[in-house]
Amino acid sequence: MGSFIFKRSLQSVFSLVALIILIFFLARMTGSPADLYLPQDASAQARFQFNEQYGFNDPLIEQFGRFLWGLLHFDMGQSLQFSRPAVDVVLQAFPTTLALAAITMPLVLLVSIITGSLAAYRPGGIFDRLASILSLIGASTPNFWVAIVGVLVFAVTLRVLPTSGTGTALHWILPVGVLMLRPTGVLVQVVRTSMMTALSSTYIKTARAKGVGSRAIVFVHALRNGLLPVITVASDQAAGIVNGAVIVETVFGFPGIGKLMIDSVLLRDFAVIQAAVLVTALAVFVINIIVDIAYALVDPRIRYS
């Protein structure tokens, strides 16, 4: 297991390097920050001094080398909009996104496993059909549309939930609900298919012949063997929740890394963009490692070479 984690970590390093190169040069294609941080009638001398102060007059290769050197020393540069180290700005916003994902994912797993398992127990029944229809709707509905409709219905029309912020538990209901919709729809289908295969296995028929109760058959015997494909898809959905937070946080005014990333792109705050993308990529990498470990815990027969 230790050898496998080391190899996966080494592979992720190459992916991170490619991502760092890509985001560095793509960020600078958005234009010059001087156009936003200086008055429209600013003189050429003022623009030159601004670019000189922040190193934007240097060749791109030299800027990239300086960025890599700072990265080796855990220095990702200064934020233009906050006049603070970019990594401090990102780490201040990241806990909100992490909390949003940490609340959403367990709820997604709980609802998906219960719904998918019950639907698989009686295929073709009323509950199975209803669960399939609702899960397909949830999986195919865009997050941004649901978020806007949610604000219109529950915040503007009914006035039972706030439109933005994180002050109380009510502020979290809409963002968590919107983020849950798509991954729950996908995982319900995966759980249903996996459980139907497990429930048709010989060992399940043997358990039924021995008089084992229906609840134990579904949630003890079949579920353990049906979890492997669920874990695989759940890891992708967990990463999708982190990515989906970019849209949801922007709509609901959540002060997380997603909203920070969008604001930084609009304000051409290159240092914060780079730091936010890198921190998010590291979070996705950690999620994937946890999933690999979960494979071995769920099925001891799995061995990594």
Boundary residue ending a domain (26, 49, 72):
72
The average confidence (pLDDT) of the chain is 84
Residue 82 lies in a domain: no
Q: Which of 154, 162, 175, 185 is nearest to 100 (CA)?
A: 175
Tokens 């780079």, residue?
274
- For 35, residues 6+ apart whose C-beta sits below 8 A from its C-beta are 268
Say whether 78 sits in a helix, a strand or coil: strand
Residues 167 and 248 in one domain: yes
Which of 20-34, 92-106, 287-301 shows the lowest per-residue confidence on average (mean pLDDT)?
Answer: 287-301
Q: pLDDT for 235-247, tens place per residue? A: 788 878 877 777 8
Give yes or no for residue 35 having a pLDDT over 80: yes
Domain that includes residue 186, residue range: 87-298
User: In this structure, what is the dihedral angle of CA atoms 137, 138, 139, 140, given to the nearest 10 degrees?
Assistant: 50
Across the range 11-25, mean pLDDT stands at 84
Residues 23 and 49 in one domain: yes
**Could you tell me if 180 and 248 are in contact, meaning their C-beta atoms sit under 8 angstroms apart?**
no
**Could you tell me if 294 and 304 are in contact, meaning their C-beta atoms sit under 8 angstroms apart?**
no
DSSP state letters, 247-278:
HHHHHHT--SHHHHHHHHHHTT-HHHHHHHHH
DSSP element (H, E) containing 130:
helix 126-140
The total number of structural domains that make up the chain: 2
Question: Could you tell me the maximum CA-CA distance found in the chain, to the nearest angstrom?
Answer: 87
Position 4 confidence tier, pLDDT thresholds 50, 70, 90: low
DSSP element (H, E) containing 100:
helix 86-121
CA-only gyration radius of the chain, Å: 24
Give yes or no for residue 135 having a pLDDT over 80: yes
Q: Which of 145, 87, 150, 138 is nearest to 112 (CA)?
A: 138
Six-digit token pair at 167?
Answer: 């002050």
Look up the CATH number of the domain holding residue 221.
1.10.3720.10
DSSP element (H, E) containing 191:
helix 170-199
Residues 144 and 289 in one domain: yes
pLDDT the model gives residue 299: 61
Residues 95 and 22 in one domain: no
Is 0.75 topped by the overall pTM?
A: yes
Q: pLDDT for 248-305, tens place per residue? A: 888 888 888 888 988 898 899 999 999 998 888 888 888 777 777 776 666 655 554 4
